[in-house]
Amino acid sequence: MAEVIVFYSIASLLVFCSIMVVTRKNPIASAIYLVGALFLVAAVFAFLGADFVAAIQVLVYAGAIMVLFLFVIMLLNIDPELLKSPPMTAGEAAVLILTILSFIVISVTVFKGQLVAPVGELTTQEIAKNGGNTAVIGLALFMKYVWPFELASFLILLAIVASVVIAKKDKKKLTGDQADAERNMVGDLR
């Protein structure tokens, strides 16, 4: 019983935060609610016994990625006038109604127990037997899936280098004061 209460309180808060993310006019408010939503997703993971994934969820998404989002939004400082949305068109209204209907259909199916997710080979007991979450994930990533894992990290490195190259301005075109200012600004990046 206690489990059910905890789960539904986390879940309803999560739904509330997610709705707030898409309905807030102020982008900073959306970002803060998104942080809350990511935190609650981590809570769901922790509740399911996946401590490692929960910690990584907070560490990476709430702690690193969202900070950068917030950074960009704060620096852009968008004019509130530009954020006013135009009135809803007929097409958009139709999409909204369809979304609500399909949501009702899915929730009815789930609550009737007709939609049951398959159970994987790593059950809670199996994980405990193999030395806990961290050990199981570590072994899977670095033994079974080591090549896809390394390829993915290489791809990310490539993306970082590419974005630096694109963002870098051509040094030769700058002259005089402009070049000095530029050098002072990005001096340490080079």
Partner 1 sequence: MGLSLEQLTGWLAGVDEFWIQLAATIVKFIVVLLISLHVPPLMVWAERRIPALMQRRKGPNRVGIFRFRLFGLMQPLADTIKLIFKEEVVPDTAHKFFFHLAPVFVIFPALLVITAVPFGHPVTLGGYIFPMSVTRVDVGFLFVLAISSIAVYGISLAGWASNNKYSLLGGLRASAQMISYEIPLGMSLIPIVLIYGTLDLNEIVMQQQNVWGVFLAPISFVLFVVCMFAETNRAPFDMAEGESEIVAGYLTEYGTFKFSAFFLGEYVGMFTLSCLAATFFFGGWQIPFVSYETLVQISGSSLVASLIGMMVLLVKAAFFMWLYIWVRWTLPRFRYDQLMSLGWKFLLPLALANVVITAAVLVALQASRL
Q: Summarize as ranges the residues that interact with partner 1 (CB under 8 A).
A: 26, 28-29, 32, 35, 51-52, 55-56, 58-59, 62-64, 67-68, 70-71, 74-75, 132-134, 187-188
CB of 78 to partner 1, least distance (A): 12
CB of 36 to partner 1, least distance (A): 11
Q: State the burial class of residue 115 (Cβ atoms within 10 Å of its Cβ: 0-12, 13-18, 19+).
A: exposed
CB of 51 to partner 1, least distance (A): 5
Nearest to partner 1 of 68, 90 (CB atom): 68
Residue type, 182: E
- Record the tokens describing residue 75, joined without a space: 């620096």
Nearest to partner 1 of 67, 122 (CB atom): 67
DSSP category for residue 184:
H
Helices then strands, counting H and E runs in the chain, come out as: 9, 0
Nearest to partner 1 of 37, 52 (CB atom): 52
CB of 110 to partner 1, least distance (A): 29
Cβ partners under 8 Å of residue 33, min gap 6:
17, 18, 20, 21, 24
